[in-house]
Structure 1
Amino acid sequence: MNKHPKPLLFLLLFIILFSQSVLSVDFVFNGFNSTNLSLYGIASINSRILTLTNETSYVVGRALYRSKIPTKTPNSSQVLPFSTSFIFSMAPSRNKAILPGHGLVFIFTPNTGINGTSSSQHLGLFNLTNNGNPNNHVFGVEFDVFANQEFNDIDDNHAGIDRNSLTSIISHTAGYWPDNIKSSSKSNDSDDEEKGFEELKLNNGKNYQVWIDYADSIINVTMAPVGIKRPKRPLLNVSLNLSDVFEDEMYVGFTSSTGRLVESHRILAWSFSNSNFQLSESLITTGLPSFAIPKTPFYKHKSFIAGVTVGSFFVLVFIALFALFLVKRERRRARERAEMEDWEFEYWPHKMTYQEIDAATKGFLEEYVIGFGANGKVYKGVSPGGTEIAVKRISHENDGMREFLAEISSLGRLKHRSLVGLKGWCKKEKGTFMLIYDYMENGSLDKRVYYDCDESKMLSCEDRIRILKDVASAVLYLHEGWESKVLHRDIKASNVLLDKDMNGRLGDFGLARMHGHGQVASTTRVVGTVGYLAPEVVRSGRASTQTDVFGFGVLMLEVMCGRRPIEEGKPPLVDWVWQLMVQGELLAAVDARLRASGGFDEEEVEKVMHLGLLCSYPNPNSRPTMRQVVKVLEGKNEPCDSETEDMEAYLLQKVKSRDMWANYSQNFGYSSHPTFDDIRQSHSSSMSLSWTISMVDGR
């Protein structure tokens, strides 16, 4: 047993106290002089204020405590705690045209000088090559006023903690929580977290105080306007082990920089201790100089006065030029109107310029051609607003002018969801006309029902019937839904277009005619497409709503059978379907591809086929009206006149009656469907009648 323990105990206690006194560093600077600090770059001391940078561009300023301070316990990796506080000011230039930047950093660094640092966004801390290098052994708390995407800055007014890199491990918008605001730190709602937060603008020239404490691997950063008691809730709080960053001894101080953005960075007071966390209370926070730029009433600013003067001048010039533009435009329009024909004046609101159309179609490139009409090509284009359009270019030759006027006089004023929309027209010199339509993404119906169409694009039975309903509603609108009665006169599959949702839309009104309700069309000009022409049109040349019904009936059979009305070496489509109906084999006429796929509603298909036969019946008095057709297609079983049976049953019973098909077979047959030669022969003796027939395989 040791009988003399007390001398050893006293010796051990003396060694501990001596080592602590050697490691302890405490200082308070309420003003600076050249003996306190080591200055590098542009840093200077003026009137006891440390100025890191001024309004010089692309410079670095750094100030460090004159000697290294111990940061670790000897012979161990344990980091010593520390507490520091300082008062800073970032003052923008008085020249309002110069933007302020970039910021300052409180740092621990193993080296003196500014070698290996860059200005601008690097804050005089690192450069492009060494940023993020773990061998830097640099720790900093930045106060940054520029949002650099390369460093993932959260905004242009934030504080952040940096370890060997300018990409902060944690950051927050600069500011503080006043002590009278209850903390919501237990809430998971970020809005509650920020409730009551007071944001501080770092570079407005005002003085702010910062407190930074590190103990037990926890670092707290707090800031507030100078003179306000230290807030209880820190701005930044994070668990951070600095043992791999700190060396045994480090320099401590500040660094900042400017770039194209400039401002003055100043430190007015500074305290540091690794033994006394209350030393910050020794900083003097009153009577400090202010660097905030006084606010001048905006109307007294020279820039405002100059701006108002220059702005007024430009406004007057603009008004004069605009007035001149309006006068010239009205004169030009008046001149154009004086030169316009009557029809141009009537449809002026729909007119578009040739330059717009030329730009939309890239100068009418051949690769933009999407179709061919009787008098010209159809091009796809993109309007100045980005909308896709279709442009039909019509030649003045032949019947181009007649077709053009028919389109803009009818379709230009009609509005229905199942009609192709006419957006405008254009007349160019040398007899070229253009019509601009809504673009139909899925082309024409005929390309999706015939046997030569791509199998993948073939329409299902349900889709075909749905599209027929769309067309039927459009024809009914033409006959009864507008102020005048409109006869389309060319209803066929190639004139039915499909929009992006595969809805059917009736188009091509080049042969359309309008007349009042209750009036009879006066024209005796035979127009249409062989295979769709009603027999009475061939005999008299007169069109009526019933001739449109005939064309629609052929269309119904054409779509359901997948066959053109007239094909070489085959009986006419309508005759063929009548024969199969009489033989009780009506479904044999349905498109073989649909029958092979199966799964369609046979009763619904038979109804459509029967209705198509009735619509295309040679005797116009036996055909239903379009209103009756729509009701049957839509399944609206309404009473038919005085009959007790519904419309659908009445019409379908009518087409199946023996009298109907017997009369058809005996008196009409194949001869009821005229060919091109039939029409030409029937009118050869009457030269006063003009006629236009489309002969493209019944299309």
Structure 2
Amino acid sequence: MAAARFLVHLLLLAAAVYSAAASTSLATNATAGSRMPAAAAPGPGSGGGDGNVTGFSFSSFVSANRGVNVTVLGDANINQGALQITPDSLNDAATYLTHKSGRVLYATPFKLWHREGRHGGEANNASAGTGGKRVASFSTVFTVNIFRPNGTEPAEGFAFVIAPSADEPPAGSSGGYLGLTNASTDGSAANMIVAVELDTEKQPYDPDDNHVGLNVNSVVSVANASLAPLGIEISPVDPVKYDVWVDYDGAARRIAVHMAVAGKAKPRRAVLAAPLDLGATVAEWSYFGFAASTGRKYQLNCVLAWNMTLEKLPCGDDDDDGSGRRRVLGLAIGVPVGVTAVAVAAVLAYVCAVRRRKVQGGEDGSAITGTMIRSLAGGPREFDYREIRKATNNFDEKMKLGQGGYGVVYRGVVVGDHTSPGGAGSAVEVAVKKFSRASTQGQNDFLAELSIINRLRHKHLVRLVGWSHDNGGELLLVYEFMPNGSLDQHLFSSSPGRALLGWELRYNIVKGVASALHYLHDEYDQRVVHRDLKASNIMLDAAFSARLGDFGLARAIETDKTSYMEEAGGGVHGTVGYIAPECFHTEKATRESDVYAFGAVVLEVVCGRRPRCDVEGFHFLVDWVWRLHRDGRALEAVDARLGGDFDGDQAERLLLLGLACSHPTPADRPKTPAIQQILLGSVPPPAVPPFKPSFVWPATGGGLDTVSTTAGTTTSQLSLTSASTWSGNFMKGSLKHAFQQEAPDSLS
């Protein structure tokens, strides 16, 4: 009791200090004006990651993007699914194609540098070391098609640009000025422009007519490199699409440019790498985009796709004008946090001491978790930990079936009870999931998964057999063993002796998954969102019947609600290629986002390709299939390994269903009852537009079927066109991984 009274006094002291400090900070804030520009407010560029990264993605462009997502300037235009930076016209070239300049900029500026505190209070980033500024890192990739119509000689050039404003190209910026500068402004530091040029016209200051250059406030490059030795021709006679990567490391103050034929992997070797201090060159708030020009000669400068990831910087006042307020805010936050931390530490010490006494007194250290599990209605069978250890041969590596973010799965054999198919005393093969985090979070994951799957009963769900929890805090779930492994193993594994999944099995697997999803969404007494539906979580029993499993991310929502909101700072959970685009803005899991993942699985099963793959210049399977659908060639997407041995009507039905489920607008995706009817053939396949609709957020005409169900949350007004899903670089954590290696698919 004395310890408890002491803790209460500490907490009351923390509250009193916090109240006083907060009052001071509020009084200060009431008199201090904000100098954050209007563009700093959340806008179309927001989204993705956990607050440290922002960005956008376009898989194609439509006229509706003009003025909403992109600003089209000068002689630029949007048509034929692309940004036409200079005109694309069949009319008289002398009138419509020569001596033109244009720009297309992303509609929202981004903060590219931030002045750090005088005393180093914020300088916790390596990029704070030069000029007292922290500079944002970014990574972008875009697909370009720069070609000469009718075999004409190409000119002048194209550039990826960072500009201080969304103004028109300056007068006289055609010809060799690339839509960037003109004769009177070229070379002026007031331009605050940086560009990466793909130049196809040799000027006296250029190495040749086929090079990449780095331009700073001038079209005379500070660094350039000829592309001929690399076998790259920017504008060949036969048009070639190229992917161009521009990576900027704000800490190292260095830029690197890579280039390859579209659809091929990013080369290890950069075509150009050079030092560049954006903090000393560009405006604090700048626009990203493209510029191009033609002169006496001309070429078509088309951007077909564009993806951008950018480090987010603080948007508050600089220290040199607001250091006093920062100190007040530091006191307002730091003092109570410090006092509270002491109190929390005391609480933890007290709890640990109590737990130690309980263990030393013979009481089970996992009693709390065990009691919670045993209190579940119709609780699952509890296994003795020693039995599970024996069943898995002490968790032998040879018994390992797989591993994920939530734990390792082992194969084992246990003695069955009266609930087992073979009755009490029978030998039962099981899959044992051993949670990798023996911590509070691990217990939360364990209890969340157990509380949901414990009461689920459906022939297309993996059956839970029981659980175990030892004194050391190790958590185990025991599932029915699936002898044929997971769906992705059969679709993509090249293991010898593994037979190719035939068409009939594939179709039945899709029907089974749809049935399980319908049960979770509409038939169970609580709506359950799976949140990680993918081929590796679809198990196959002895008859190759689908069993949806791995409920580690699943969450139940009330029947009068429609979404599950992530915990604060939780980020986006799931796997790239299966995550619905709206999830990166709402951080909500919904039935619609599950349907999106189901659509990715459907296309994966039909095509024998992963949702995130490179095929004919596309980086996502859904975009490739949509293009084939537009051209009336959808059946060409069917897995070629089947050798044509498939039902054409069923294949078309599945492809259309997969595209419908992948619709960028959540409300336009079919619901699970309709999905089942489509698969049974009782209703025709859904009508799918020939062109993939743009992703616009907030969604127009419905969007999600209801607004947020979480009190106090608001949705930023975001509006952008997105690819079928965000790239692997849009994830929690530092952007620096974009410069080092391809990011992993899992975002959990």
Q: TM-score range by the shorter chain?
A: 0.3 to 0.5
Q: TM-score, normalised by structure 1?
A: 0.46
Q: TM-score, normalised by structure 2?
A: 0.43
Higher RCO structure, 1 or 2 (CA under 8 Å, sep 6+): 2
